[in-house]
A and B are shown apart, each in its own frame.
Chain A
Amino acid sequence: MVMEIVCPAGTPAALRAAVKAGAHTVYCGFNDETNARNFPGLNFDRAEMAEGVAFAHSHGSKVLVAINTFPRAGAEDIWHRAVDDASAAGADAVILADLGLLAYAAENHTGIRRHLSVQAAAANADVINFYAETFGVKRVVLPRVLSVPEIAAINAETEVETEVFVFGGLCVMAEGRCSLSSYATGLSPNMNGVCSPASHVEYQEEGGELDARLGGYTIHRVGKDEPAPYPTLCKGCFSVDSKKGHLFEDPVSLNAEQLIPQLQKAGVTALKIEGRQRSRSYVAQVVRNFRAAVDALEAGQPLPVGMLARLSEGQQMTTGAYKKTWR
């Protein structure tokens, strides 16, 4: 079976562009703190979600709604309403991470598929099967800590479909288990749906150099005419004793396009593209390229080579944890 391309949509326009470009599936979120890309000007209101689902369905595509932050104590109804409304909009699945929210969805919305978000960091077959037995989870988005052979081993031990990230931003920490951002800025992926938020970024020129700061901490410094990378915490430049460098990860993004055949052999059902904050033209281009790749694979033809390099904005690319030496 052809591998499913799961594509991000931060806006209704991006959703339509992705569907037209051939995305089998689109994922998106409501415009509030219930999803992990809670950026200004992004995401869907209730009417847009229903229209987006109808548009996708009329073109044979599916829509998954990410409700993958951790509900705030005392305000869980906001997250419950998101699950209710995703279901009412006719979405094909909700992507959840929180145990309480999974229990809520399993109890109140048996009709809608439950996918386990990467934010749950389910990294082995035992816990994946536990989520399936306990909450009826049908698909798991695997955390970016696993190598391809480990993914194959997981698929051999579970009936739950697996979805893996193949392109875009790359978390180097286990997702859903990282408070670096709230330590420095007060805002976190788990609670607020943001990481290293733009509201806490400042650039300052000093002595011919450009400093990039997050929450007052300088974590990048380049010559003033060089491109300044965005100061994401885990990809910042730090020092230990006399050593200076990107101690956690370089400012790289993930590109696993050349691993698609191996991921298919490993039993992966769906390939996920990161980037709900991206423009519709970017989204359309990435979708076309990945669609071409999985169609070529299905037809027994070689993959188009290096098709996505120009989309990475001059950034370095990595295959991340899929190759074991990354660890």
Chain B
Amino acid sequence: MNSAEQMKTMDIERRRRWIGLLAKATLQELEQGWSQIESKPEYTFIRVPETGQIMIRARTGGVGPQFNLGEMTMSRCAVRLANGYIGFGYTAKHQKRHAELAAVFDAMMQDPVYRSMIETTVIEPVADREQHKRSVSATKIASTNVDFFTLVRGDD
């Protein structure tokens, strides 16, 4: 892998992380972040916010053939900022506004002018909350952890 490709993979990884966090954020968190922006960018829709069903596909044990696991509700949206950046928003909720804001933030995260601001006002707070949620449930699980062991049998 050459350095240009490495850069690209890194960028993709970073974008994957923030798109994931934008999807997990609550609408309230996104609205709050949006209200804190003083000079809001103008944007147009490439794909107007829409809610629909998507089919989740899976493989047994991660290796078998694909099968349809079931459907889930999803909202999605794609926007273009006035300066040309394109953003995509997805969320596993019946919430068009969420998808819209997630798409706008994704586009803004690609724009160096907005990136650090969006990172501190939207992305990192969500990351912290998610991290906290995870550690709380990890602690809960750890407290009920049972270690099974078998005594050596059959020896006199």
Do A and B pair up? The answer is no
* A binding-site residues for B, Cβ under 8 Å: none
